[in-house]
Amino acid sequence: MDLGLVDKVVVVTGGSKGIGEGIVRSFLAEGALVANVNRSEGEGRALEAEYADRGQECHFIQADLCDAGACATAVQAALDRFGRIDAVVNNAGVNDGVDLEAGPEEFVKSLERNLVHVYAVTHYALDALRASRGSVVNIGSKVAETGQGGTSGYAASKGGLNGLTREWALDLAADGIRVNTVIPAEVWTPLYENWLNTMPNPSEMRAGIEQLIPLEHRFTTKEEIADTVVFLTSPRSSHTTGQIIYVDGGYTHFDRKYR
């Protein structure tokens, strides 16, 4: 299936590792031009160089997105490089463990790490998205629906992200801009593996988690998340907007008892 993304310009935040890297690679496989906005330079430059050797554009833009000014600068850098923006994928964020006892100051910082930059990047890209009749895909979390415990800031941010998805889908429908959210649950990434390896018995814990995932009793891959994101930005999903789509093997909504 031709997704019609050749030479389309996509801004991906946090695209240098984990789910974000999978998203970047999936777009590049479809012939898109990617602006990867990330705080850490080493991984971003390495990815840029890897694709430059293949004659493909994976342009790295260094930015700490907790700074709204940096969000504006990053969007402008993408426009300076490519002249247009056809899609924004708001992927950057971290489950930072800011709980109810952390206090208001830390809570606000968590919102800045996980929600405010989503608003800022999309705001600064809005004129370009209107010009291209583009799309926005946000990367959410099951935590917005299920809770997790000990992560008030992240849960509030991801709940807010779901709300913004519906709000923006209505706001921007007249401009032909579609807005959707993809919800991962248990996705196998190096970060997840590192966390699991801090547990007393990682292999046993992994097997226990897999048993709670109804479809095939396995983790979702980052490529499965990425391919859904790419489809949602493409003309093949041209009448899909305001949707919150769970790519999780049924983990979030199905009974999790062992089977």
- Give me the amino acid identity at 161: L
Give the list of residues 6+ apart from residue 93 with CB closer than 8 angstroms, or none.
14, 113, 114, 139, 154, 157, 158
For residue 219, what is the DSSP state?
P
Tokens (6 digits) for 65: 């997105």
Cβ neighbour number for residue 67 with a 10 Å cutoff? 15
Is there a contact between 68 and 123 (Cβ–Cβ < 8 Å)? no
154 is catalytic: yes
Catalytic residue among 51, 119, 124, 154: 154
Read off the tokens for 211: 């048993």
Catalytic site positions: 154
